[in-house]
A and B are shown apart, each in its own frame.
Chain A
Amino acid sequence: MEKGIDFGCITPEELIGSLNDIEKKFAPKYIFVNGDKNILQENPKVSVIGTRNPSLQGKKNAEMLTKFLVKNKIIIVSGLALGIDTIAHKTAIESGGRTVAVLGTPLDKCYPYENRKLQEEIMNKHLVISQFAIGNPVHPSNFPIRNRTMALISDASIIIEAKDGSGTYHQGWEALRLGRPLFIVEDILKDKSLKWPEKLINYGAKILPMKHLEIILDVIPVSEVSFNEK
């Protein structure tokens, strides 16, 4: 990362508004931000998340879904990991939308290293946030903690594709705990070996057919501002 970048530090309430007790339970005390923090207060936000090793269909679904969301003025939240996260961020940028990357590292680190340029671009033109202060060590446990924060700042979460035991599952569970809509792309159900989808569906996740993406719009805040109108 570039030297001399100014990292701001704010509370979750300053970033997304007042929190109820359920939301406060796992909310970080502070969030470090770099970029345009107003992004989070302007439009609905949806997390697009999934595996680091997507199938061809998973990649197509991630791209198609992200384009649909951007077209409907929705901000794309993801975790800057390889695979689905990277597709979500890049498609949002290429489609003229806005995106927020939620890191599992402090803002001055980049993981994976391959995404350092993407991280810089999002910092310069969009928003990157992290709950981990500069100088903090990076542990594997940071990433599921980061997933909870992604669920917190998103009005809904959508799982494109994920394996059993994936960090994506943590975000799905947290979205359900918060009472936020959680969608699972229908194609996931074709893999009968997976155990996690049935569990999340029993606890309230909704199946998202790629032919009926409009059902997402029914459960997120009403957006008044078009990016094209700005």
Chain B
Amino acid sequence: MKVIDNVWHLIKPEWLEYLNTCPALQFPKDLDLPKDMTANTLLGENSWELNQDELEWYTIGGYDPHGTNYEGFDSHNCPFDIAETINFGRPKNAGWWIVRQHPGQYMPWHRDLTCANDGCYTYWIPLNDWEPGHIFVYADKTISHYKKGDVFQFDDSYEWHTGCNIGYSTRTVLQIRTYD
């Protein structure tokens, strides 16, 4: 996990305005997960499928499948496409999503299992300066004192990681994933 760039100059004020003020998808609440969390299930019209780590959040960890642990944006619920502007040289093969966490929200410990193929690159870009209580842990490393717009490239898109907000203000992070 290393800082390779800072792209704050590419972040448009109207994106931030939207992200700071508009409703987002509530996870996992809006996934409409079944009460029976003992089997991996295709879910609703969005065909969400839980990966093994996510399934264990509910079956082993006891997390509430109908609560809100974090909020999310992507091209489906935003009037803009960030990958048109920030794509690390792969405009045709870039996807993005944004995680917004209000104080007390978190994402349980997990891997991004769907991207474990070769030629996948994951970039983690905070949209706020670091403050105490804003936690990002990648493998056994804690990422602190970052600046908004810093670009951290995952060494391995498949690595265990988590992001949490037990601080005093909202934490918003952009993630971009590209493929060869």
Chains A and B belong together in one complex:
no
Q: Spell out B's residues near A (CB within 8 Å).
A: none
